[in-house]
Structure 1
Amino acid sequence: MDDRIREHAEVLVDWSARIEPGDDVVVGVAEDAHDLAVAVAEKLGEVGANVVTTYDSGEVSRAYLRAHDGEFEAGDHELAMAEAADAFLRLGGGRNTTATADVDSDTMQAYSRARTDLREARMDTDWVSTVHPTRSLAQQASMAYEEYQEFVYDAVLRDWESLAERMAEMKTILDEGSEVRLVKEREDQPPTDVTMSVEGRTAVNSAASVAYDSHNLPSGEVFTAPYDTAGEVFFDVPMTINSKRVRGVRLVFEDGEVVEFAAEQGEDEIESVLETDDGARRLGELGIGMNRGIDRFTDNILFDEKMGDTVHLALGRAYDSNLPDGEEGNHSAVHVDMITDVSEASRIEVDGEVVQRDGVFRFEEEFEG
């Protein structure tokens, strides 16, 4: 086995999920993540955790969803397992990144709504999502397999403590701020000028560990839960949503809600997301990418949204970690991230002060105010 796979498993179990002896752990394993699952199981055995593995297959999901009548009910057996677990580890890496592309949108929406309680139960655990480099993901990223392996491990096997210290500066800025404004003025695309309130919210220093309220490996972003969004934003980074290609998305917000939308490709899928429920028209997340180890777009949200020089906004569910005790944020059965490149002709302002220009933060030496 490649030594990097064992290193990946060690980071996941020790740094990210902070698994302890006696913890009840559910490990969801994608079709081609077998090698990582073996390494994770070995590491969990060394720690002394109790392990159950489940099979996470896009092709199995497709078969089930296409055969079903569309009237879904939550499975009590699966919910009981999630509620009893201390941690849930998702090991992504399927055979086909568009395995459910021919499942109709109404079915996908109904299935997502029916599993709301299950998602909530999993998110109450020390959950972490990661991915094993596979040939299908390499193909999606337009990279050679060996090249993609190098890319993944460069992003995953980092000095997370040092990155956490740097990202803490951005967290402080957001925590002390009231309003964030994102502006892009590129001549080759529609304008972006959007404001959102963050007053009273707590930003998360997402350093790839549950100790930081961070649940992705790799990570490398600072995110918060905005509200009262107004203005327009153009997302120029292509992405795959529900196995369908989407690019060139433009959203217009008034009073916190999307009131107008368009897309150069995949507009029907954006419409489907927005129609999921009332919360799907509001933002659940503002995220600022800060992982310089991710140096290219790969059409995989786990990596792309963490890349330095990017900002992402998510339609749908807000995370409780951003909210004051007793306050409810935006509720939705979806959480769909979309990304915009801020490496040029752009700026982020907090309470009128520029904190990032053309991808460079004010606490970095290259910053030009």
Structure 2
Amino acid sequence: MDERIHRHAEVLVDWSARIKAGDDVVLRVDDGAHDLAVAVAEKLGERGANVLPTYPSKEVEAAYIRGHDGDFEADPEFELAMLERADSVLSLRGQCNTAAEAAAPGDKRAAYKKSRQEARAARLATDWVSTLHPTRAHAQQAGMGYEQYKDFVYEAILRDWEELADEMANMKDLLDEGSEVRLVKEDTDLTMSIEGRSAINSAASVAYGSHNLPSGEVFTAPANPEGEVYFDVPMTHDGVRIQGVHLTFEDGEVTDWSAETGEQALEDVLTTDEGARRLGELGIGMNRGIDRFTDSILFDEKMGDTVHLAVGRAYGSCLPEGEEGNQSAVHVDMITDMSENSWMEIDGEVVQRDGTFRWEDGFEE
């Protein structure tokens, strides 16, 4: 087994999830992530945790949704009981077929997700962490050879997370102290309020309020977006490629949308429920170990030259006490490349221009 798999498992268990003796851990293993699951299970055993492995499959899920009449019941009690008992849920992604979800109709997929909000909430209430084991399918999706893709994945994951956390604290401070963010580039001029919000320094650890490995972003929950934004980075959602998305916001809600590719899939997202047409997240990518787009949101949204916005559910950790925030069955991130002819302002001050942050060498006012 590649020695880096063991290092990946150690980072996940110790730095990211902070597993302790006696913790009840649900280990969700994709069909292509078996080797990582073996390494993680060994680490969990060494830490004295209690482990329940589960093997969700996107292909199996799509088959179930496809065969169902579409009138899904609420979450099964046995699944809720498992998640409500868990201290941590570790999701080891790594599919053998990255388009497996496309086998189920979009309207049924949306109905299925709406039916599972209680289980999702129970999972999000744990110290959950999601990571990815490199597979040939993901390498193909990224347009890379398998060995090249493995090097890319481990470069993003096996890094000095404390050092990156210190750097990202600069952006967290700016967002915490700010009131309004403005994004400007071709086909984009969008303002949004961040008044009273708290930004998350997402340094790949639950200790930082972060739940993805790799991570390397600072994010918050914006409100009242106005203007237009163009997302030029391709993405795959539920097995469908979406690219060239243009959204127009008025009074805080998407009023017009288009996509050069996958417009029906985009419409399926935005019509899931009322909250799907409002913003749940503004995220700023800061992981310089991710140096190219790979058509995986787990990596692409963390890239240093990007900003992403998510329509749908907001993270409560970013909101003032007592504020519920945007509610939705979906949370779908879309990315815009800020590396050229672009800038981001906070309260009228440019904090990133052409992908370079104000504290980095080469920044120009």
TM bracket (short chain): over 0.9
> Could you state the TM-score of these two structures normalised by the residue count of structure 2?
0.99
Q: What's the CA shift for 1:154? A: 0.2
**1:325 Cα deviation after fit:** 1.8
Q: How does 1:25-44 map to 2 (within 5 A)?
A: 25-44=25-44
Supply the distance in 1 between the matched residues of 2:261 and 2:329 (Cα, whole angstroms): 23
Q: Which residue of 2 aligns with 1:188?
A: none
1:127 deviation in Å?
0.2
Displacement of 1:69 in angstroms is 1.4
Partner of 2:361: 365
1:23-63 residue CA offsets vs partner (Å, 9 max, x unmatched): 00001000010000000000000000000011121111122
SS of the aligned residue for 1:100 comes to helix
Paired with 2:211 and 2:127, the residues of 1 have a C-alpha distance of 8
- Check whether the contact 2:63–2:103 (CA below 8 A) recurs between aligned residues: no
SS of the aligned residue for 2:204 comes to coil
The runs of 5 or more residues in structure 1 that have no matched partner are 186-190
Residue matched to 2:253: 257
Distance 2:72 2:236 in 1: 24
- What aligned pairs does 1:238-257 form with structure 2 within 5 A after superposition? 238-257=234-253
Report how far residue 100 of structure 1 moved.
Answer: 1.7
3-state SS of paired residue (2:22): coil
Partner amino acid, structure 2, of 1:19: I
Partner of 1:331: 327
Task: Report what 1:201 is aligned to.
Answer: 197
Partner letter of residue 242 of structure 2?
A: V
CA displacement 1:290-311 (0-9 Å, x = unmatched): 0000000000000000001000
CA distance in 1, matches of 2:63, 2:246: 33
Hey, what does 1:270 align to over in structure 2?
266
- Alignment partner of 1:81: what SS? helix
CA distance in 2, matches of 1:327, 1:232: 26
Task: Compute the displacement of 1:114 (Å).
Answer: 0.5
Note the C-alpha offset of 1:242: 1.1
Q: Return 249-258 or 323-332, whichever deviates more.
A: 323-332
- Look up the SS of the partner of 1:367 in the other structure: coil
1:201, CA displacement in angstroms? 0.4
1:109-160, Cα deviation, whole Å (9 max, x unpaired)? 1100010011100000000000000000000001000000000000000000
- Residues 172 and 200, structure 2, Cα contact 8 Å, conserved in 1: yes
2:174 is the counterpart of 1:178 = no
* 2:119 equivalent to 1:118: yes
Counting only pairs closer than 5 Å after superposition, residues 61-210 of structure 1 correspond to structure 2 as 61-73=61-73, 74-185=75-186, 191-210=187-206
Number of equivalent positions: 364
* Pairing 1:217–2:218 present: no
Q: Offset at 1:65? A: 1.0
Q: Which residue of 1 aligns with 2:9?
A: 9
Asked if 1:226 is matched to 2:222, the reply is yes
Query: Which among 317, 333, 352 is matched to residue 356 of structure 1?
Result: 352
Shift of 1:215: 0.2
Aligned residue identity for 1:12 = L
Deviation per CA, 1:51-87, whole angstroms, max 9, x where unpaired? 0011121111122111111111211100110001000
In structure 2, the partner of 1:307 is: 303
For 1:91, give the aligned amino acid: L
Matched AA of 1:274:
L
The AA in structure 2 aligned to 1:243 is G
Distance 2:72 2:20 in 1: 36
More moved, 8-17 vs 100-109: 100-109
**One-letter identity of the residue aligned with 2:161:** W
Does structure 1 conserve the Cα–Cα contact (< 8 Å) formed by 2:63 and 2:104?
A: no
CA distance in 2, matches of 1:328, 1:263: 30
CA RMSD of aligned residues (A): 0.6
Provide the rounded CA distance (Å) in 2 between the counterparts of 1:298 and 1:358.
20
Letter in 1 for 2:47: V
Gaps of 5+ in 2: none
Q: Does 1:48 align with 2:37?
A: no
What is the alpha-carbon distance in structure 1 between the residues aligned to residue 204 and residue 103 of structure 2?
33
What TM-score do the two structures reach when normalised by structure 1? 0.98
Cα shift readout 1:79-106 (whole Å, capped 9, x = no counterpart): 1100010000000001100002131111
**1:150-202 CA distance string (max 9 Å, x none):** 000000000000000000000000000000000003xxxxx100000000000
Shift in Å, 1:365: 2.1
2:27 and 2:51 in contact (8 A); partners too:
yes
CA distance, structure 1, for counterparts of residue 131 and residue 40 of structure 2 = 12
SS in 2 for 1:20: coil
Letter in 2 for 1:104: P
Runs of 4+ in 1 over 2 A off after TM superposition: none
